[in-house]
């Protein structure tokens, strides 16, 4: 993908693998037309599950809609995008809520590092996340906080990453 992108004048960076074998990359094209050409060149190589232009302004959505989108993205192992959605919510929060959202964002960041094969970094980030995850709540804005806390604790104790849904 990097060679193909380079031959078309694009940069392809940050490869991340999902547990089901999908490859996620960040593509930096000079123009939208260059990106469309790149996508057309990739089609014969395999299924393109999704693509999203991160240069576009985020759509207006309620906090509830953003948390629902974050849950869906997390459960699809699209951790970088989950992080991006939640960061917008996090900026507007205060106190314990803000800290709890930051804990979830750090879990996403840890899984991005895991997808990139950087498990040592991922475990350090996950250790920071554990201290900030929402405590004493089953449900945190539609996210299964119990599952998240239990799964993070299990990963940290075993040093083995296992994907989970929230």
* pTM: predicted TM-score of the whole model, two decimal places: 0.79
Q: Which residues pair with 139 in a beta bridge?
A: 144
Q: Are 112 and 83 in contact (CB under 8 A)?
A: yes
The pLDDT tens digits of the residues spanning 36-54 come to 999 999 989 888 888 877 6
CA distances from 106 to 37, 124, 164 (A): 35, 10, 15
pLDDT tens for 105-122 read: 999 999 999 999 999 999
Q: Which helix (H) or strand (E) holds 12?
A: strand 11-17
Domains annotated on the chain, with CATH: 2-45 (no CATH), 63-158 (1.10.3450.10)
Phi then psi for residue 16, to 5 deg, are -135, 130
């Amino acid at each position: 993908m990097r060679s193909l992108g380079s031959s078309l004048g694009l940069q392809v960076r940050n490869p991340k693998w999902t547990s089901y074998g999908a490859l996620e990359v960040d593509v930096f094209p000079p123009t939208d037309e260059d990106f469309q050409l790149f996508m057309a060149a990739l089609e014969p190589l395999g299924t393109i599950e999704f693509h999203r232009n991160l240069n576009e302004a985020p759509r207006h959505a309620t906090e509830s809609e953003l948390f629902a989108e974050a849950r869906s993205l997390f459960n699809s192992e699209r951790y970088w995008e989950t992080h991006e959605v939640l960061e917008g919510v996090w900026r507007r929060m205060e106190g314990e809520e803000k800290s709890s959202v930051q804990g979830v964002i750090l879990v996403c960041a840890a899984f991005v590092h895991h997808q990139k094969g950087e498990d040592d970094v991922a475990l350090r980030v996950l250790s920071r996340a554990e201290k900030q995850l929402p405590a004493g709540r089953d449900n945190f804005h539609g996210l299964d906080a119990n599952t998240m806390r239990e799964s993070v604790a299990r990963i940290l104790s075993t040093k083995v990453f296992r994907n989970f849904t929230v």
